[in-house]
Amino acid sequence: MRRAFIPSTDLVPRVEKGEPFAVARMISRAEASSSEAREALGALYRKAGRAHVVGVTGVPGSGKSTLVATLVARLRAAGARVAVVAIDPSSPYSGGAILGDRIRMQEHALDEGVFIRSMATHGAMGGMAHACLDVVDILDVAGYDTVLIETVGVGQDEVEVANASDTTVVVSAPGLGDEVQAIKAGILEIADIHVVSKCDRPDSNRTLTDLKMMLKDAPPRDGWRPPVLGLSSLRGEGFEDLMDAMARHREALAGPGGVARRRAIAAFRLRKTAETILIERFRGREQGSVDALAARQQDPYAAASELVRNFTGEKADA
């Protein structure tokens, strides 16, 4: 028997009750950026804002996935319901996330107080960012106290989405190569909390010292001076400090610094959502004279300008 389609707006009260089926269904529709789901997602946005949304980002090899797994266990042990939205780099062609939900954090698999979701980064330009934040809202409304957004700290969308959270944790690690360190420099400034992972390693003190030196003259972020914490997921050390810093930053954000931050996040979401809707409306109209272009008889600017003019109804010189 074929199950009847449940309209997204009917799922909203069931998401509020935290029903796993409704949560999973709603998330799938948010990921697919289904236009049917937009009214419901809008309603969920207006109901959200209760959870502590924490972005965790770091370069590949920084140990951030292990750190997130341990952090989930610690928050859970402290009585919180915890959700993780992990943004995996994925193939632009096969469309599948690489690290499936099933192989991640298997120890939490049977715990209803923990929800893990891997999202692919494929799809429309910028679409990942707004879909991810919609998923965060769903989990927020479903009653998770802390929602962790785990992203790799490479790529503009990945960094922006980590930054669009209440608290951003940037993970560094000792012993990474020059190339990786250089990439890392690009994400240090979005940190509310700096974490050096793998502090069981002898070279971690050097990394801690270097990082503190590098941040010595950095201006406060929304009136908050980001602490630098050492952690060892292997030994389970430093997680109390991290949870404490997360709670303190959340409190600090309740002050005037938080207003600017929430406005910036709202502006970011508005822009990303509008751009996604705009590109979506445009889609299908971008099929121009590809053959003339491939033969270099026409150029992309002339061809693209014409397509955009046709779409917006502008005159040639408008």
- Name the one range near a second copy by CB under 8 A: 33-41, 164-172, 199-207, 247-255: 33-41
Q: Is 34 in the site for a second copy (CB under 8 A)?
A: no
Single out the segment in contact with a second copy by CB under 8 A; choices: 194-202, 227-235, 238-246, 291-299. 291-299
Closest approach of a second copy to the CB of residue 214, in Å: 13
Identify the bridge partners of residue 114 per DSSP, sorted by sequence position: 82
217 near a second copy, judged by CB under 8 A: no
Widest CA span of the chain, in angstroms?
Answer: 66
> What part of residues 107-136 is at the interface with a second copy (CB under 8 A)?
121-122, 125-126, 128, 130
Q: Smallest gap, in angstroms, from Cβ of residue 3 to a second copy?
A: 26
- Of 16, 111, 145, 160, the residue at the interface with a second copy (CB under 8 A) is 160
Structure tokens at 43: 């309603």
89 in contact with a second copy (CB under 8 A):
yes
| Binding-residue pattern over the window 180 to 209 for a second copy, x denoting contact by CB under 8 A | x-xx-xxx-xx-------------------
Among 13, 20, 61, 255, binds a second copy (CB under 8 A): 61
Number of residues near a second copy (by CB under 8 A) = 91
Contact pattern for a second copy over residues 62 through 81, marking x by CB under 8 A: ---x----------------
Collapsing DSSP to helix, strand or coil, 92 comes out as coil
| Nearest CB to a second copy, comparing residues 24 and 290 | 290
**HSE-CB of 144 using CA atoms within 13 angstroms:** 30
Report CA-CA distances (Å) from 25 to 104, 111, 144: 20, 19, 17
Binding marks (x or -) toward a second copy, 242..281, rule CB under 8 A?
A: -----------------x--xx-xxx-xxxxxxxxxxx-x
Q: How many residues does the chain have?
A: 318
d(CA 207, CA 176) in angstroms, rounded, equals: 10
Other Cβ atoms within 10 Å of 307 Cβ, number: 16
- Listed residue (225, 223, 224, 242) closest to 233, CA to CA: 242
CA atoms of 304 and 311, how far apart (whole Å):
11
Question: Rounded to 5, what percent of the chain is helix, strand, coil?
Answer: 50, 15, 35
- In the complex, the smallest distance separating the C-beta of residue 109 from a second copy, rounded to whole angstroms, is 19
Amino acid letter, residue 18: G
